């Protein structure tokens, strides 16, 4: 089992030797220096830690820089001020490693007077109460010691870079269907003065950051798709593929798409389907019947299911290579500020994703656009610009439409179900 321990650090020279000495053997310590002036980075490097420099000030900025620098399967987070004992990290890592939980938080238990200031403890208790009500997770603490698999955390697309980061992680994990658990650890007086809970001002700022995260509505994810039946889907793949093979590839692409979007934090996930659900339909997805009419009409109508005040992102079934973080990060609460729309251009001139802060804007944007042309995406983008929408671009992706693009997508994402099915058929169709 590979484990990286992320230690956000701002002037912790006094505590670092004790903290690093107690990191479990074989685990890598990643000290993220967030602008220290007391030589913390040099001390950490001399003691064998991997040091990352994050110039943007903020607890979340330091934590996320460490997550991006991590390479181990499991990542832990821990303050390096001496208040928490790295030797107890196995308590939060164990349930993740045994696949009993996806995110484990430490419930701090003070071992002496003064370990946890009253104002900080009261603020934490209130946030924990609201967190239990919001997520249903049995949490009593929003402490800084926690563990999860790196891939799952990256797929959450966390955007807060201040004190809201720990809360956003829990809310996003819950919205992504991750199993959240809690375990007790010792809590000691920290060495030096806290930059957050050590002052009333710092505590107020932390609470403000967290309330901002709590107030952000979760996005709705929409997938518009056809039931993968032979002769009804991916007809441009035949030949060289048979209708049955084309339908199998379509099912794999749809399954991959639904699986990836299942890791993205969302309030609702809706499959807007032409046809009947099948075994490829995840149980936690709502299924809505696709409307009739031309494709522009069906796309516009799909947003009707999301008209609940939350932003909505619509994705097709032709891009099984999508990554959760490429969708989650732009939709994170901090990233959504200043954005009215999200546009995912396709390599062929179309688009693979369209997101709207106000889903009611869909009909005037989509109706009347000629679909499946090399100008479709450009026309839509022009309409959004003309409407005064502030548009954030998503990565350019290749749609699976032909044998050539199917091969390109399979080679781009060889770990997908789609690529596995493509490899099965490759020898048959040569």
What's the token pair of residue 416? 């997908």
The candidate with the shortest Cα–Cα distance to 304, out of 285, 318, 291, 286, is 291
What's the token pair of residue 283? 């149980």
Report the number of secondary-structure helices (H) and strands (E) in the chain. Answer: 16, 14
Q: Give the span between the Cα atoms of 251 and 256, in whole angstroms.
A: 9
CATH pick for 3-215 out of 1.10.760.10, 3.40.640.10, 3.90.550.10, 3.40.309.10: 3.90.550.10
Domain ranges of the chain: 3-215, 220-429
Q: Quote the pLDDT of residue 413.
A: 97
Question: SS3 of 259, please?
Answer: helix
Q: Which residues pair with 356 in a beta bridge?
A: 312, 341
3-state secondary structure 16-42: HHHHHHCCCCCCEEEEEECCCCCCHHH
Question: Tens-digit pLDDT profile for the chain (430 aa)?
Answer: 799 999 999 999 999 999 999 999 999 999 999 999 999 999 999 999 999 999 999 999 999 999 999 999 999 999 999 999 999 999 999 999 999 999 999 999 998 877 777 777 887 888 888 888 888 998 999 889 999 999 999 999 999 998 889 999 999 999 999 999 999 999 998 775 655 555 556 666 666 777 778 888 999 999 999 999 999 999 999 999 999 999 999 999 999 999 999 999 999 999 999 999 999 999 999 999 999 999 999 999 999 988 677 999 999 999 999 999 999 999 999 899 899 999 999 999 999 999 999 999 999 999 999 999 999 999 999 999 999 999 999 999 999 999 999 999 999 999 999 999 999 998 554 4
Question: SS3 of 187, please?
Answer: strand
pLDDT of 32-50, one tens digit each? Answer: 999 999 999 999 999 999 9
Q: Give the span between the Cα atoms of 285 and 268, in whole angstroms.
A: 8
Q: Quote the pLDDT of residue 427.
A: 59
CATH pick for 220-429 out of 3.40.718.10, 3.40.50.2300, 3.90.550.10, 3.90.930.12: 3.90.550.10
Same fold, 3-215 and 220-429: yes
Q: Give the span between the Cα atoms of 119 and 133, in whole angstroms.
A: 22
Q: Which CA distances in Å does 407 have to 228, 243, 268?
A: 19, 17, 32
Question: SS3 of 413, please?
Answer: coil
């Amino acid at each position: 089992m590979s484990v990286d321990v992320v230690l956000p650090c701002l002037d912790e020279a006094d505590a670092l030797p004790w903290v690093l000495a107690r990191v479990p053997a074989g685990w890598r310590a990643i000290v993220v220096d967030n602008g220290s002036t007391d030589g913390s980075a040099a001390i950490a490097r001399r003691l064998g830690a991997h040091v990352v420099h994050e110039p943007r000030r903020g607890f979340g900025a330091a934590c996320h820089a460490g997550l991006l620098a991590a390479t181990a399967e499991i990542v832990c987070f821990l303050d390096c001020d001496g208040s928490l004992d790295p030797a107890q990290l196995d308590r939060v890592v164990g349930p993740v490693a045994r696949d009993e939980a996806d995110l484990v938080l430490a419930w701090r238990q003070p071992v002496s007077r003064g370990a946890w200031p009253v104002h900080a403890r009261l603020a934490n208790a209130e946030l924990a109460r609201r967190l239990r009500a919001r997520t249903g997770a049995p949490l009593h603490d929003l402490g800084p010691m926690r563990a999860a698999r790196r891939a799952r955390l990256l797929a959450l697309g966390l955007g807060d870079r201040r004190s809201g980061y720990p809360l956003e992680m829990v809310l996003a994990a819950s919205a992504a269907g991750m199993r959240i658990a809690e375990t007790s650890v010792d809590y000691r007086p920290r060495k030096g003065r806290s930059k957050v809970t050590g002052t009333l001002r710092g505590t107020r700022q932390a609470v403000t950051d967290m309330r901002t995260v709590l107030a952000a509505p979760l996005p709705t994810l929409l997938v518009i798709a056809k039931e993968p039946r032979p002769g009804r889907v991916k007809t441009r793949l035949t030949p060289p593929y048979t209708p049955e093979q084309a339908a199998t590839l379509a099912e794999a692409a749809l399954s991959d798409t639904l699986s990836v979007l299942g890791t993205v934090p969302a309030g609702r996930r809706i499959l807007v389907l032409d046809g009947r659900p099948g075994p490829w339909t995840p149980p936690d997805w709502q299924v809505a019947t696709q409307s009739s009419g031309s494709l522009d009409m069906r796309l516009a109508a799909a947003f009707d299911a999301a008209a609940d005040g939350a932003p909505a992102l619509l994705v097709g079934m032709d891009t099984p290579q999508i990554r959760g973080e490429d969708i989650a990060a732009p939709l994170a609460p901090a990233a959504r500020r200043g954005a009215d729309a999200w546009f995912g251009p396709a390599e062929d001139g179309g688009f693979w994703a369209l997101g709207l802060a106000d889903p009611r804007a869909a009909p005037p944007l989509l109706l009347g656009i000629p679909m499946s042309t090399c100008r479709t995406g450009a026309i839509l983008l022009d309409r959004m610009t003309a409407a005064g929408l502030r548009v954030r671009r998503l990565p350019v992706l290749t749609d699976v439409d032909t044998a050539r693009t199917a091969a390109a997508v399979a080679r781009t994402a060889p770990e997908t179900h789609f690529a596995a099915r493509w490899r099965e058929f490759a020898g048959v169709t040569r």
